[in-house]
Structure 1
Amino acid sequence: MTATAIDPKRLTGPRKRPGKGRRVQYRFAPLALAGVNIVLFGVFFVWPGSLGLIYSFTDYTGLGTPEFIGMDNYEKLFADPTFYDSLLRTFLFAVLSVPLMYVMSLSIAALLVSNYTKGKAAAKIVFFFPWLISPIVAGVIWRWMFGESFGFVNYLITRLGADPLAWQTDPDLALMVVVIAATWGGTAFNMLIFIAALKNVPRAYYEAAEIDGANAWQRFRHITLPSIAPTSFLVILLSSLGAMKEFAMVQALNGGGPGTSNTFIIQYIYQTGFQRADIGYASAVSMILLLILLTIALVQLAVNRRRA
């Protein structure tokens, strides 16, 4: 008997090429997932931003048909001293709160990842609790604590034999309370970001530095800080943008007072647009704020690239 050759194609059968339906399915899924974000971005950012840009060139008051007035709102804006006062106060708040928030969140995160710290789980819950509180509720809490005639802080001061402080009628003290409250509320989220970054630093670096005789501060300065530099950049960027847009907590805490001495730029936009019904002018202020935020982000990106 002679052996007959067996065709491999009979065993395996004809090869099937992937159908077009599967290709379309693989391409459609990413587009569908991205499409939701694109729609949300268009509805809640592009469309309102476009309306704001259009209204900034009109005299729109919320009622009736807006009339095009050209650059009148911007000319009025740059000649308004109240706008500059609110903008400078907002910058001062950001300069004071962002570094303090950075130091507090990084310090707490370093303690929570340390091998010598006890009760880490309970500490994380305690430190993260402020992030769960509404900014309006947080503002009311801090207002009660620093009330001049009924506040808990002044009560402790008087019990120690000192005179109570004017937390609500002194502009600088009122701003300091806002800075403390903002730091208390914003530290929690940044703390979680730093905890994740610190845990990703290789332990071998610290062991080698410890063998070489480096103390704790030297290890932190030459190993920890350079290793978490991208995370530090992210925290500073988000904190800066958040400080420039602070509104709810300040509104509940002191309403921008005393008077208008601590009116931030977002409160100025709110008062102009909703209380005075000058939507066109408020839209012009919003466009200027958008340019300022973009400038801050681009400057920080440029600085970060140079360091990298």
Structure 2
Amino acid sequence: MAASTLTRTAAQERRRRGIIAAVFLVPAFVLFCLFFLGPAGLGLLYSFTDYRGYGDLEFVGLSNYQQLFADSEFYTALGRTILYTVVSVPVGYFLALLVSALLVARSAKGKTVAQVIFFFPWLVSPIVTGVIWRWLFGESFGLVNYLIDGVGLTPLKWAQDPNLALAVVIIAGSWGGTAGTMLLFMAAIKNIPTSYLEAAELDGAGPVTRFVRIVWPLLAPTSFMVILLGTIGAMKEFAMIQALNGGGPGTSNVLIVQYIYKTGFERSEIGYASAASMILMVILLIIAVIQTRFDRSDLN
């Protein structure tokens, strides 16, 4: 009798906790439906129509997708986005990893001041980041060209050369994204048991060896998350590059989200832009699945 009473009480307690958890999850679920599922469903609907932001919807089937896959501008924007992602994500990853390792080192001086300095870019919006780096790399008024000219070298045409313009975008994006990644790495490094490092130090391993052989492998879960979020963020880059050079010179550095923006809002082809958005969403899902599979294989 007592055992059945305890079992019934435990079941009631689990039910009560489940109800409380569901109550707390309802607001998140509503927001998820309102700001993700709703817009995604509407975008999917628009992608099969010729909607231009006004008037009635006319169903056109797969016409938008067929036109999209034959559009050279779409492939150019997608290719430039992939190039930007392939270069900027590793640069941002290793830059943040290096800064984090230096800031948590026992022998480092002025850690507080350095953390504030490196954390500052996270407080700046992407638009402001673009404006700052546009000023720094301006051809006729920029600080970088002023310093280059000051040492007797020929100033570079940052805004006229597509590759130089992309390099500036990569530098600006890495600078802006280092702070958030740095905090993740610093927290992960501090959670590594000091006994591992002390044992390696007693065996004669130097700081670099200890970091490469012990710290870095233990950062694998954090590295996976950083690379995944960095890849998705780079594929969706818009505000910073729009403020920096608008995808110039010309349209040589227009990334995929800029292509969608220009198509949907400047040319009023909402249906066509929605089709491009659906393709981008599928690409991001594929990237996430692939990276997740690699992460699971590493753990196994």
TM, length-normalised to structure 2: 0.94
**SS at 2:157's partner residue?**
coil
CA-CA distance at 1:216 after TM superposition: 2.2
Change (3 A) 1:125 1:77: same
Distance 1:170 1:160 in 2: 22
Equivalent position to 2:196, from 199, 205, 212: 205
Structure-to-structure mapping, 1:112-191, within 5 angstroms: 112-191=103-182
1:66 aligns with 2:57: yes
Greater C-alpha Rg: 1
CA-CA distance at 1:27 after TM superposition: 4.0
Structure-to-structure mapping, 1:209-228, within 5 angstroms: 209-228=200-219
Q: Which residue of 2 aligns with 1:96?
A: 87
CA-CA distance at 1:95 after TM superposition: 0.8
| Structure 1: segments with no counterpart, 5+ residues | 1-16
| Structure 2: segments with no counterpart, 5+ residues | 1-7
Q: Which amino acid aligns with 1:85?
A: T
CA-CA distance at 1:26 after TM superposition: 4.0
**SS at 2:48's partner residue?**
coil
CA-CA distance at 1:24 after TM superposition: 7.3
Paired residue total: 293
1:242 aligns with 2:248: no
Q: Which residue of 2 aligns with 1:288?
A: 279
Percent of counterpart pairs with the same letter? 58
Q: Which residue of 1 aligns with 2:220?
A: 229
Change (3 A) 1:22 1:306: closer
CA-CA distance at 1:25 after TM superposition: 5.8
Distance 1:121 1:159 in 2: 34
Distance 1:242 1:26 in 2: 36
Greater mean alpha carbon deviation, residues 212-221 or residues 136-145: 212-221
Q: Which residue of 1 aligns with 2:295?
A: 304
Q: Which residue of 2 aligns with 1:34?
A: 25
Equivalent position to 1:196, from 172, 178, 187: 187
CA-CA distance at 1:217 after TM superposition: 2.3
Q: Which amino acid aligns with 1:51?
A: L
CA-CA distance at 1:215 after TM superposition: 2.2
CA-CA distance at 1:284 after TM superposition: 0.3
CA-CA distance at 1:237 after TM superposition: 0.5
Q: Which residue of 1 aligns with 2:249?
A: 258
Distance 1:118 1:205 in 2: 23
**SS at 2:39's partner residue?**
helix
CA-CA distance at 1:23 after TM superposition: 7.9
Q: Which amino acid aligns with 1:169?
A: Q
Equivalent position to 2:258, from 250, 264, 267: 267
RMSD: 1.7
Distance 2:43 2:183 in 1: 35
Question: Over residues 171-223 of structure 1, what are the superposed CA-to-partner deviations in whole Å (9 max), with x where a residue is unaligned?
Answer: 00000000000000000000000000000111111111112222222211211
Distance 1:272 1:252 in 2: 18
Question: Over residues 90-116 of structure 1, what are the superposed CA-to-partner deviations in whole Å (9 max), with x where a residue is unaligned?
Answer: 000001110010011011111111100
